[in-house]
Structure 1
């Protein structure tokens, strides 16, 4: 009984967060992700073999990867140079298909988000955080953008 109540509370909180965020942030779908991939590929001249991995949400070490990831996240409005990662948008985007994903999305954010205290260049910063968060949530990203 308690676990059902807890699930209802978690679902209500997730719904509230999505509602709060979606006032400013519009959820993205497969077509949006595909468009962002294509535009960033053009911007950064990503080789075919590397790009194929990106399409599977695998971002190997490559001289183009960090800025590609930054570009991709910016186009999806999940990251900006000035503000960094938009945690509310990340939660809204990646719990939109299922509130069951809230705990892994939040766990990844808590573990990985930083405010660039290392003063890295913006591409390195975006990629560092996303590369930490993605292995925990790759299944969620694939589900949301499938």
Structure 2
């Protein structure tokens, strides 16, 4: 009976993990464009700063951190409760070019944290994404172009 219960618990846990990964849908250029527009409206980003954002350049500005958080959240890569979804990021940025796997993983290993600094959620999302992006900007542009 103990073996059956243990097996059942393991099966349920595996199914839950599988469903979490299976829920992520790869986003397209159109999804990114819509997320950019929505996040611009939500965060009142000025035109000159927004133009930089469109090139995946996120300069220091009072609106940048929450814009980045909004964007990665709408793209399914981040949530306030769980932080960054590494599996989703790998799937999103290697679906078209599997040869970019090493670069994407390297960036994740270098940059992902679990907000040990206890930063506010916008600062946390921006810190991690802004660390990861310079290593993978070419990959992001390929995927969302």
Normalized against structure 2, the TM-score is what? 0.86
Distance 2:68 2:135 in 1: 17
Alpha-carbon distance change, 79 to 123 in structure 1, aligned in 2, over 3 angstroms: same
Other-structure match for 2:12: none
Is 1:41 equivalent to 2:40 in the alignment?
A: yes
After TM superposition, give the deviation of residue 23 of structure 1 in Å.
1.9
CA contact (8 A) 1:114 1:129 kept: yes
Distance 1:137 1:20 in 2: 27
CA RMSD of superposed structures (Å): 1.4
Distance 1:63 1:98 in 2: 34
Aligned residues: 128
Ranges in structure 2 where 5+ consecutive residues have no aligned partner: 1-17
Ranges in structure 1 where 5+ consecutive residues have no aligned partner: 1-18
After TM superposition, give the deviation of residue 25 of structure 1 in Å.
0.6
Question: Deviation digits for residues 9-43 of structure 1, max 9, x if unmatched?
Answer: xxxxxxxxxx9876211000000000000000000
CA contact (8 A) 2:31 2:75 kept: yes
Normalized against structure 1, the TM-score is what? 0.85
Alpha-carbon distance change, 60 to 93 in structure 1, aligned in 2, over 3 angstroms: same
Structure 1 ranges of 4+ moved more than 3 A: 19-22
Structure with the larger RCO, 1 or 2 (CA within 8 Å, 6+ apart): 1
